[in-house]
Structure 1
Amino acid sequence: MRTGTTARSIAVTGAALLALTACGGGDEDGGTTDAGGDTGGGEKQVNVYGTDGNMGNALGESFTTEGALAGMRGTTPLTDLGTEFQERLLAVDPNLQDFNYSAETYDAIIISALASVLAGSTVPTEFAPYINGVTFGGEACDSFSSCLDIINAGGNPDYDGVSGPLSFTEPGEPAQASFGILEFGQDNALDEGQTTFEISGDEGNAATDEGPAPAAPGTTSTDPLVIGTLLPLTGNLAFLGPPEVAGARLAVQEINEAGGVLGQEVQLIEGDSGDASTDTASQTVDRLLQQNVDVIVGAASSGVSLTVIDAITRAGVVQFSPANTSDQFTTYNDNGLYFRTAPPDTLQARALSDLIINDGNNTVGIMALNDPYGTGLMENTVANLEAAGLSADSIETLTYDPQAANFDAEVQQMVEFNPDAIVVIGFEESARIIEALNAEGIGPARS
């Protein structure tokens, strides 16, 4: 699947090092920056990178000083959504500021619905074995209605998702994925003109088992497919909630406009995941299970999913995350009921390390949120940086408590290490870390 993917607006970053100053070019006395980060005027310019947990316009809203984030770059699972899909999302929620994980949420529901049609059943344990096969082999299609036409004609659909290449592996996750390389502008908002795309992973690693023989075309059911959502309406990932909710609503709307699943309209029951510091997710899962949902779409946080995955899968319900990236899920004992459209950290780490290396950095400090997402992405990034040629002593890592009163000790550790680049892997607390880095003269802002 996706043999033409790499032609879709993808530019692998190979630009020279971005050595940012107050003017975005040379330093104040006219020096220039070489690939090691030293300027002709003697001031070392540190490059700051983020990842999907903080590379959104919501981060910029925490800053009032112009240029506080200017030039900060980072990676996030993202494909070139195009204006048409964004307009469909905006019709659902006109107030969207970001589109992160909207497509992954949309695709999770489309795939679930197609699997249910292929199985001729809305029973989760009966349609789950078809989920992987929806994403590879067969005849290519890119919408629920076009895939449904293939099924009704007795064919085998190969759904090419809005979120980029899918081609699920045996554990139910993308074998390859598209990542956006994003950059903040002087106004502390993402500069869309600077966004490029990179494919990471190998489609050849996709599974080969497409599931049992499909049900006869035209099979109907008296039970509707019920989708529950476990998405961050509150907590430190609440900025991801609106695009994910819009993606879920759009998918259900378009499925029902195409005739629904097995003769019934799909039902959507929404719920809040909160974050890992609360029991909101457990309460929501209990409620959704009592309402007999067939699929729970979420959570966004890997840490939150780890607190509820057993309750969901042991109940015989499919869990389908649009944003979990921890590689713990690849081998998790999930009874064959956990899937994700978000790529595992092993893929994002490749894209992130490529960005760092291509920018010419020789020493790298990594500050990571102490949870499965943060530590997993950090460890995989370190492995990729070392594979690219950086020595172990040229990389400094630390984890932090997102609930800490301040991050002075962690920032001081970065000051003492004096790296060419600093990577911040976190959520909303990243704003306080970056403020502290700026105060020490090693953040994105330049005086």
Structure 2
Amino acid sequence: MRTGILARNAAISAAALLVLTACGGGGDEGGTAAEGTDSGGGERQVNVYGTDGNMGNALGESFTEPSSLAGMSGTTPLTELGTDFQERLLQIDPNLQDYNYAGETYDAVVITALAAQAAGTNDANVFKEFVNGITFGGEACTDYAGCLEIITSGGNVDYDGISGPLSFTDAGEPAEASFGILQFGEDNQLDDTMTEYVLAGDGANAATDEGPAYAAPGATGEQLVIGTLLPLTGNLAFLGPPEVAGARLAVQDINAAGGVLGQEVRLVEGDSGDASTDTATQTVDRLLQEGVNAIIGAASSGVSLTVIDRITGAGVLQFSPANTSDQFTDYNDNGLYFRTAPPDTLQARALADLIINDGNNTVGIMALNDPYGTGLLDNTRENLISAGLSEDSIVTLTYDPQAANFDAEIQQMADFNPDAIVVIGFEESARIIEGLNQQGIGPRR
């Protein structure tokens, strides 16, 4: 899945830190959509874009008519996963449809385990100081077994994971990240042959402090217990299976290599639900009672904001594979919050570049009203303006994802009649896109 690396010409200003992986692309290629009406009364195409909250095959299952999503494209943090890793994930869960954030989840577990081994303790208040340094500066390694061998030999590690080079900043997040540009086909499923990859950010922005000296090689100690706070229910439930599979596979690999501190890692799983429920709070309370040292999750930025104080205040490390809100970069987390997912400041650059390269001059952005939606909306708008679009050529709006309908918001987009519409949302995106289709400005051909 998702093979081949194509390219797009950079359209954002030279100051933007977007690095493309190859050459070619641009023009009219990309998010082809329904036919609207131009100012002269003729027909034109409206390009529709999504982001990581809705660019998955689960979105297509909400549509019964063929081509309802055909040509809709969008961005999601994604690296070109190798066939071997995908096959190993399928051994964990044969029913996987997508692999979104599986690599980021796997890496979050591995980095946590390596930090605990390097620190010689399962105490998160101690091993948190080792997390950033695990991702840069030492001897390169690409799996837990290889990294553990370096630590056992008295060396320092630089873990380059499944999800990319990592290279964490002082804030505990990737300095650069790989993004997939995905596109739906005629069957309302992602067309893997159309996937392209771009890099955003700059590894030079990584932290320089590798942390304290490692504990004695081969240090032993109390068992490392890792909990998961991942979406098994709610509007991000489609992300749950690949993330759960990634966590299980990581623990399997860690234990097969000898575990952490001389013991097998214990995994305690839990549901995050979504921001409209208190599922996450209940799960966190249970995990804390189970004595976890670290919690992997949540996927939703909004959910993480409801529990981050509860987790870090208990002296437990929180490591999200999918939070992208830039609120976490400067959050007062006692140094206990990390993420393998890149902040929205990076995804916004990749998304804006995609929109500009497709030749759009007017853009409407519809975003759910939560930290994920508003953060990505604001950053995308800023990048579009930096790329040369005028402020009045961009119309933005936010919506309540729990609303009975989105008629007013859809009508606002229809009245604006832009070249491109960006939908930043979760499962409710299906109802919005169907409404856009009915107005003749959606992706249906």
| TM-score category (smaller protein) | over 0.9
* C-alpha distance 201-311 of structure 1, shift in aligned 2 (>3 A): same
Residue matched to 2:305: 306
Deviations 1:65-113 (A, max 9, x none): 0000000000000000011110010000000000000000000000000
State how far apart, in whole Å, the 2-side matches of 1:6 and 1:138 are.
31
Distance verdict in 2 for CA 1:184–1:11, change over 3 Å: farther
Q: Report the Cα offset of residue 14 of structure 1.
A: 3.2
2:65 match: 65
Counterpart position of 1:51: 51
For the structure 1 residues 179 and 362, does the alpha-carbon distance in structure 2 shift closer, same or farther, using more than 3 Å as the test? same
Rounded to whole Å, the distance in 2 between the matches of 1:6 and 1:207 is 30
Are the aligned partners of 1:13 and 1:358 in contact in 2 as well (CA < 8 Å)? Answer: no
Tell me what 1:233 maps to.
232
Q: Tell me the distance in 2 between the aligned counterparts of 1:13 and 1:97.
A: 30
Q: Secondary structure at the match of 1:44?
A: strand
Give the letter for the 1:15 counterpart: G
Rounded Cα–Cα distance in structure 2 between residues aligned with 1:115 and 1:392: 46
User: Which string of whole-angstrom CA distances, capped at 9 and with x for unpartnered residues, describes residues 269-324 of structure 1?
Assistant: 00000000000000000000011100000000000000000000010000000000
Question: Equivalent residue for 1:14?
Answer: 25
Structure 2 match to 1:30: none
Partner Cα separation in structure 2 for residue 214 and residue 340 of structure 1? 22
SS at match of 1:173: coil
Change over 3 Å in CA distance of 1:40–1:259 after alignment to 2: farther
1:160-239, aligned counterparts within 5 Å? Answer: 160-221=160-221, 223-239=222-238
Report the counterpart of residue 267 of structure 2 in structure 1.
Answer: 268
* Amino acid in structure 2 at the alignment position of 1:191: D
Residues 357-436 of structure 1 mapped to structure 2, 5 A cutoff: 357-436=356-435
Structure 2 residue aligned with 1:94 = 94
Inter-CA distance 13–253: structure 2 relative to 1 (3 Å threshold): farther
Give the secondary structure class of the aligned counterpart of 2:43: coil
CA distance in 2, matches of 1:52, 1:395: 21
CA 1:291–1:21 in 2, change beyond 3 Å: closer, same or farther?
A: closer
Q: Match of 1:290, as an amino acid?
A: Q
Amino acid at match of 2:158: D
One-letter identity of the residue aligned with 1:274: G
2:355 is the counterpart of 1:356: yes
Distance 2:44 2:363 in 1: 14
1:329 maps to 2:328: yes
Q: Aligned residue for 1:143?
A: 143
CA distance in 2, matches of 1:182, 1:13: 17
Contact 1:17 1:361 in 2 (8 A): no
**Separation in structure 1 between the aligned mates of residue 432 and residue 279 of structure 2, nearest angstrom:** 26
Aligned partner of residue 244 in structure 2, secondary structure: helix
Deviation at 1:341, TM superposition (A): 0.2
Distance change >3 Å, CA 56–CA 335, structure 1 → 2 = same
SS in 1 for 2:155: coil
Q: CA deviation at 1:224?
A: 0.6
Residue pair 2:6, 2:24 contacting (<8 A) in 1 also = no
- CA distance, structure 2, for counterparts of residue 342 and residue 21 of structure 1: 29
Alpha-carbon distance between aligned partners in 1 of 2:39 and 2:147, rounded to the nearest angstrom: 55
In structure 2, what residue type is equivalent to 1:232? P
Q: CA deviation at 1:364?
A: 0.3
The CA deviation string for residues 30-82 of structure 1, in whole angstroms up to 9 with x for no partner, is: xxx9xxx9699921210000000000000000001000000000000000001
The answer to whether the Cα contact below 8 Å between 1:39 and 1:45 also exists between their aligned partners in 2 is no
Output one character per residue of 1:199-227: Cα deviation in whole Å (capped at 9) or x when no partner.
00011110011111100101111x11000
Distance of aligned partners of 1:287 and 1:208 in 2 relative to their CA distance in 1, 3 Å threshold: same
Unaligned runs of 5+ in 1: 28-32
- Cα distance in 2 for residues equivalent to 1:329 and 1:395: 27
Residue 85 of structure 1 corresponds to 85
1:134-177 deviation line (CA, Å, top 9, x unaligned): 00011110000001111111111100010112000001000000
Give the Cα separation in 1 of the matches to 2:214 and 2:138.
13
- Is the Cα–Cα contact under 8 Å of residues 38 and 45 in structure 1 kept in the other structure? no
Residue 286 of structure 2 corresponds to 287
Q: How far off is 1:12 after superposition?
A: 6.4
What is aligned with 2:42? 42
1:116 alignment partner in structure 2: 116
**Closer/same/farther in 2, CA of residues 272 and 21 from structure 1, 3 Å limit:** closer
Q: Give the SS at the match of 2:113.
A: helix
Cα distance in structure 2, aligned partners of 1:278 and 1:418: 36
Cα shift readout 1:380-425 (whole Å, capped 9, x = no counterpart): 0001000001110000000001111111100000011110000000
Q: What secondary structure does 2:181 align onto?
A: strand
SS of the counterpart of 1:109?
A: helix
Gaps of at least 5 residues in structure 2 are 8-18
SS at match of 1:292: coil
Contact 2:62–2:430 (CA under 8 A) maintained in structure 1:
yes
Q: CA 1:396–1:40 in 2, change beyond 3 Å: closer, same or farther? A: closer
Deviation at 1:16, TM superposition (A): 1.7
CA contact (8 A) 1:116 1:261 kept: yes
Is the contact between residue 33 and residue 47 of structure 2 (CA under 8 Å) also seen in structure 1?
Answer: no
Q: Match of 1:154, SS?
A: coil
Please give the alpha-carbon distance, in whole angstroms, between the structure 2 residues aligned to 1:416 and 1:13: 34
For 2:13, the equivalent position in structure 1 comes to none
Q: Give 1:11 shift.
A: 4.2
Summarize the Cα distance change of 1:418–1:13 in structure 2 as closer, same or farther, 3 Å threshold: farther
Amino acid at match of 2:214: P
Counterpart CA distance in 2 for 1:345 and 1:356 is 16
Mapped to 2, the partners of 1:21 and 1:443 lie a distance apart of 6
Deviation at 1:10, TM superposition (A): 3.6
